[in-house]
Structure 1
Amino acid sequence: MRERLIQFVLATALVFAVALTAAAIATSWGGWYWLFGAAMGLCLGAIALARRRAPIAAATLGLVLAMASALIARLAGLPREPGPAGILALAVLVGMVVRRSSYSKAVAVVAGALTVVLLVFLAGQPVGGQVNLVAALNAIGWAGAIATGLALRLADRTKKETAEKVRRDVRLELARELHDVAAHHLTGLIVQAQSARILARKRPDELDGSLEAVESAGADALDAMRRVVGLLRDSDDALAAPPEQVRELVRQFERHGPTVRLDLPADPMPWPPEVAGTVQRVVQESLTNIARHAPQASEVAVTVRRDEEDVHVRITDDGPQATRPGRRGGYGLVGMRERVEALGGTFRAGPHDGAGWVVAATLPATVDA
């Protein structure tokens, strides 16, 4: 949705710049002098709108077209090119390459854009010492594209480093969970096995029930270890099916709590580990808070939806609000908010329709590499 909005705003700005420039040229120059500039502006704008498919090729094509338009305008005695629409399009193209491409390719495109600026300056014909406005606008657009691209590049790098930190923190926490959860299950398994040995000597008729409990505890321990070890795998498909993780959390919660209305996506596509881990943590912490602070709750709902761009998580209950924590450490409300916002998402927790509590988080479905 955000990308579509950006494309719409850019397209609107380009059309507006073309129309405004054409109207100004038609008023001052008269005739059909505006037609060439409008055509060049629309062509450069179309290239800018299609930039994501092949950014380097799009930027190169845009720069070549801008150089050609500047030369044609100079030789044919037309208004100077590229005009405002072309400058905006070139700024978008150059800025994207600076943001996303390697340094060598970015430097090459920036040098090409500087060549366009110099060509426009040399092709201009200042009258009476007046400043070449078109050349000045091209220089401003060039500088603005570089500054914006570098700023966005830095922001992307910071976001990537933050996501990596979140990922490391998830794995460290899961390592602790492997120790705590698996050790808990195995300790119980050992105790029950010892009890079975005692029963075998003193009350053999009760041995079958004890062995059944040992078998159940062993299965739970094995499931816990497989789940946590799977989450600790350092691969992009480590959390390929987060709905299963959420379903397991709900199953554990329902052992000692109310039945949960569960709504999960049927999408089998892999999820980025950072997103899947955060979804699991939000659900886990929310259910833990319900068990600790709202044991009277009779209705609990967990909803996880995924659309083209975002993952939406929502946990609600009808427990009393008075016992809810305001701020908690660890993986409480503060921890959940930090984890979600570190991935560029939004988080909200608070009273729900005058009764109960709601935790809602929205995360990007993908994380930039």
Structure 2
Amino acid sequence: MTLKPSALYAPVLAAAALLSLVGTAVGIPDTWTLAGMAVLLPLLALVARSSPVRSGTVAGALGVAAVMLWPVPLVWADGSWLEIAGAAAFWAVPAFGAVAVGGYLRRQAGRMRQAVRDARRDQQLELARDLHDFVAHDVSAIVVQAQAARFVAAQDPGQAVRALERIEASGLSALESMDRTVHALQEAAGGPTTPVPGLAQLPELVDRFEGGTLDADPAAVRELSREADTTAYRVAVEALTNVRRHAPGAVARVSVRRTGADVEVCVANSAAPRGAGGRLPRMRRSGTGLAGLRGRVEAAGGTLRAGADADGGWRVCAVFPARERPLG
């Protein structure tokens, strides 16, 4: 095991302080003792900066005592107690100053480490949201299509083959999403980056959703900022995933349109057909969808609304401010 240099600071300071105290007691030349202060003060700062609290406290107390007491013999013979205390107090200033400098640097280093931990946690949460937003969408599609194929295989083999084709497409899309996650990890390590999908991929997304229709205004799409564009795509992914999970067989309508000074992205679905919930096994809810999505939309400068429609369906709408100039 490699010994860190910082582990030696406290023992070295304790030994140097003890030597200084012994030298002060036996009356070694003052020039030697003063030269020792040039060693003790930097050691005090290093110990306060890097040493463990327990050993650093003991060594620091010895170091401060050595710095404060070295001038005492100079005024002991002819000086009063007030002069002795004044000399010790005078040299306490650089001693505690060195400790304060080291403590400040220790605090800044601690803040930096905490910032790194927070950044890593945020990155982990971002990757978790990516997996939920994209991979879960495709996996839920695979599960729904596999369930449907199992029920129609005997009566209509052609429908089963089409379901298998959709399963293949969803599997490939899930692999692409996982590749993006891997690239995001590589990006954090300084590797190449990969683009995040946006509304340009919306037609492909809706095409993979059986019973989905798209009505998107290309001009409105171009008026979204890059952050809003990728967030709007996540809204569509999450909403369609929820339709698959909680309203199997429902018809979903995805729209992107300009509304005044804003761009609105809506996903609305009809009520699930009667008997659909009993025909297919119910999938578990993840519980991490709209709650996290609302915060993401608000971070992009938009607002998110979700609620039931009068026809028994569900509607999710995200509204983002339009850019003054379209993306080029």
TM range (shorter): 0.3 to 0.5
Q: Which has the higher contact order (CA 8 A, sep 6+)?
A: 2
* TM-score scaled by length of structure 2: 0.44
